[in-house]
Amino acid sequence: MAHIGRNGLLLIAGLMLAGCGDSGLNPFGWFSRPAGPETLEDIEIARSIDNRPLIVQVAEVRAERLPGGVILRATALPPTQGWYSAALVSDGEAENGVLSFALRAYPPLSPQPSSTVQSRRIDVGAYISDASLAGVTTLRVRAGRNAISVRR
C-alpha cells in the first residue's frame, strides 16, 4: 500500500463528508439549511409592564396631524418638581373607538419643593401611525386624578 500523507488524508476525509449530502452528518450543511417560517403561534410575545406610577394630573392634551399619523402631546402636572422619564404609555388596543394612554413618570428620588406650576410642568408626546388609528375616533390620556380626551 502506498504512503498517502497528510494532504491525501484530508482530501479523502473531505470527499467522505461531501458524500454525506444533505444528511445531518455533513458539517458543511449544519448551518446552511433555512429554518421553516415562524408564525405568531411560535413566538411568545411579552407585554412589558411599566412600573412608573401615574402622574397625578394631566393639564392639556392635543393631537397634531402629520403625514402618516399624529403626534399625541400631553402636559403633565406632577405635585412636585423632579419627576423624570415621563411618557405616554399605551393601554393596549382601541376599545369602542377610544385609544387610551397612561401618563407615567418616576417620582423624584428625594423630597422636592412644589414651587410654581410652570416649574412642575412636563411635556410628553407619542407618535401614532395611521394604521394604529384605524377605527379610532378618540384619543384619551389618563392620569391619577383625571383624564382628557381629544377627538380626531
**Whether residue 11 has pLDDT greater than 60:** yes
Domains in the chain, number: 1
This prediction's pTM: 0.67
CA distance 101 to 140: 6
**Whether residue 48 has pLDDT greater than 70:** no
Q: Is residue 42 domain-resident?
A: no
Q: Is residue 8 domain-resident?
A: no
Amino acid in position 118 = Q
Q: For 80-130, what is each residue's pLDDT tens digit?
A: 999 999 999 999 999 999 999 999 999 999 999 889 999 999 999 999 999
State which residues form the domain around 112: 58-151
Q: Is residue 101 domain-resident?
A: yes
Q: Is residue 140 domain-resident?
A: yes
CA distance 125 to 69: 13
Q: Is residue 69 domain-resident?
A: yes
Q: Is residue 51 domain-resident?
A: no
